[in-house]
Chains A and B, each alone.
Chain A
Amino acid sequence: GESVGLHLPTLSVQEGDNSIINCAYSNSASDYFIWYKQESGKGPQFIIDIRSNMDKRQGQRVTVLLNKTVKHLSLQIAATQPGDSAVYFCAENMGGTSYGKLTFGQGTILTVHP
């Protein structure tokens, strides 16, 4: 079936560097995408979202880019800090009768070295 996937399972960066986490999705019917951060033993924490009518959205230190042509989503974290170390998941939603139901990608482990 269609699913959301990630290119890189792990990413290590130095403190202060910018991080880019990628995600490929295959369901062209998805119209809403969310990035979550999950720390060990905790539930997913919302980072940023984007709807399919946009290609870029910025938050505090984070930017999400959506390329619908190639079905690609990315999360950019500026000036990465040790506290950013966690597992990052992208998730997609098709809306409509599937509102609220999220399909998660496999996750990327981000490690930030001081």
Chain B
Amino acid sequence: GAVVSQHPSRVICKSGTSVKIECRSLDFQATTMFWYRQFPKQSLMLMATSNEGSKATYEQGVEKDKFLINHASLTLSTLTVTSAHPEDSSFYICSASRRRDDSPLHFGNGTRLTVT
């Protein structure tokens, strides 16, 4: 069964509004979670590393003020897309790592964001 859960699976919002996406590790504590973005027919691109109890680390070119990440507990990370625009429409996927020295093998099922 799934070990990483994402919610919602689909969301449609109007331009200018904010959307929050949740990523939960279901049966383990994840000190680190990762957020990826995937455009249609393209590969996954890492956006940021979410660290429990500390600030997220963003990849080059990703606006930290636009994509707010909060990792308040060992089982939950949230990604908030603020002031969404149509170009933010994408498939957002999270992954979680069981231990600091493990590569993440577990991905969520993604969230399809459509901004109208």
Binding site for B on A (CB under 8 A): 32, 34, 36, 41-46, 49, 89, 93, 95, 99-107
- Cβ–Cβ contact A100 & B109, under 8 A: no
Distance between A49 CB and nearest chain B CB, rounded to angstroms: 7
Q: In the complex, A99 Cα to B44 Cα: how many Å? A: 17
B107 within 8 A of A: yes
Q: In the complex, A31 Cα to B101 Cα: how many Å? A: 13
The number of inter-chain residue pairs (CB within 8 angstroms) is: 63
Distance between A31 CB and nearest chain B CB, rounded to angstroms: 10
Q: In the complex, A95 Cα to B101 Cα: how many Å? A: 8
* Given A89-B44, A100-B103, A102-B34: 7 more A-B contacts, CB < 8 Å: A49-B103, A89-B43, A99-B103, A101-B34, A103-B46, A105-B43, A107-B43
Interface size class of B (residues with CB under 8 A): 20 to 34
The residues of A that contact B104 with a CB separation of less than 8 Å are: 100, 102
- Cβ–Cβ contact B49 & A101, under 8 A: yes
The residues of A that contact B75 with a CB separation of less than 8 Å are: none
The residues of A that contact B34 with a CB separation of less than 8 Å are: 100-102
- Cβ–Cβ contact B97 & A99, under 8 A: yes
The residues of B that contact A93 with a CB separation of less than 8 Å are: 103
Candidate in B34, B43, B45, B106 with the most chain A CB atoms within 10 angstroms: B43
The residues of B that contact A32 with a CB separation of less than 8 Å are: 103
Distance between B62 CB and nearest chain A CB, rounded to angstroms: 13
